[in-house]
Amino acid sequence: MTYTGLDLELREAREAGVRALNSLRRAEKALDSARGWGIADILGGGGIVGLVKHVRLDAARDALAQARFDLERFSLELRDVDAPELEVGEFLTFADFFFDGFLADMLVQSRINDARAQVRDACGRVEAALRELPNA
C-alpha cells in the first residue's frame, strides 16, 4: 500500500496518540498501586510497607515521565496534520519523598490523587484527539 504524505502523517499521529494513551494508562495503573501502598503506610504499615510504597512511587514517576514524553510526541504529530492542539496541562512531577511520618504520608497521598486526576483528564483528551483525526 502506498501512502500519500498526509496519509503517512495521519498514521504517525494516530500511532503517537495510541502510544501516549497506553503510557497514560500505565501511569494510572502505577499511581493506583502507589496509592494503595500509601494508604497502607498511613494506617501504620511499617518499614516494609513504606519501602514498597517508595518503589511503587518510583515506578509511577517513571511511568509519568514516559507519558509526558509520549504526549509531547503526539502533540508534535498533531501539528504535522493541522489537527487541534492537544491541551493536557502540566503534569505533576513527584518530588523525592524520603520522609516518613503522618504529614509526609498525607502529602504523598494528596499528590498521588492529584496525579491520578491529571492522568485521567489527559486520557480523555488524547482519546478525543484520536477520535477527531481523519482516517488515513
For 38-86, the pLDDT digits (tens) are 788 778 777 888 788 888 888 877 887 888 889 888 888 888 888 777 7
* Distance, CA of 117 to CA of 123 (rounded, Å): 10
Q: Which pLDDT score is estimated for 111?
A: 80
Domain boundaries, position 22 = 5-132
This prediction has a pTM of 0.68
Task: State yes or no: pLDDT of 89 exceeds 80.
Answer: no
Q: Grid coordinates representing 67?
A: 507519558
Q: Grid coordinates representing 10?
A: 495521519
How far is C-alpha 38 from the geometric centre of its chain's CA atoms? 19
* Distance, CA of 12 to CA of 7 (rounded, Å): 9
Helical ranges in the chain per DSSP H: 5-42, 46-80, 102-132
How many domains does the chain divide into?
1
